Amino acid sequence: MPTHQSNEPISPEGELLPVRVTGQGHTAVVEIGGHDVSRDLSAYSLAHRAGDVPQMVIELSPRSTATGVFEGLAHVVIGDPPDPGPAAAAFLSAISPAELEKAALDRHDLMDGRPHELTRAMLALLREWALGQWGEPEPEDGR
């Protein structure tokens, strides 16, 4: 699946749009032209090269209700989500098979005697690691 960015400005005639991004932990409030569009976005990126106008690429969420009310200071473009394959391949290349196997075998909460338990445990660990959850699992009894 090829990566494609449509890079078609949504601001009319190259007009710059005022953009404000306020980080809040793992989330951010994204305002364009004074309108909070955070709920309409699945992702955004902001790039700024010295001497150039900043460029914001926004990816609309499938549940977006955006009506296109944008005006103001960065070139705003709508892009397609990137192909996750290269990032997944890079992530998996960094995983030590020995560490993955040891961690899966140490996860008694994932070993339940059902078919393919080791594979299911490894996949669960890889999902957790991909999300940055490197800590020890919570005991099942809540202690």
72 pLDDT above the threshold of 50 = no
Q: Give the 3-state secondary structure of residue 46.
A: strand
Beta pairing, strands 27-32 & 35-36: antiparallel
Q: Given this model, what pLDDT does residue 100 score?
A: 93
pTM of the complete model beyond 0.85: no
With CA atoms as reference, report the closest residue to 125 among 94, 103, 109: 103
What is the enclosing helix (H) or strand (E) of 59? strand 55-60
In this prediction, residues 82-99 reach a mean pLDDT of 89
Q: Given this model, what pLDDT does residue 76 score?
A: 62
Please count the other Cβ atoms lying within 10 Å of the Cβ belonging to residue 64: 14
Q: Where are the alpha helices (DSSP H) in 18-135?
A: 85-93, 97-106, 117-130
Q: Given this model, what pLDDT does residue 7 score?
A: 44
How far apart, in whole angstroms, are the C-alpha atoms of residue 126 and residue 112? 18
Separation in Å, CA 44 to CA 24, 69, 72, 77: 15, 17, 17, 10
Least confident of 7-11, 81-85, 103-107, 119-123: 7-11
How far apart, in whole angstroms, are the C-alpha atoms of residue 75 and residue 135? 40
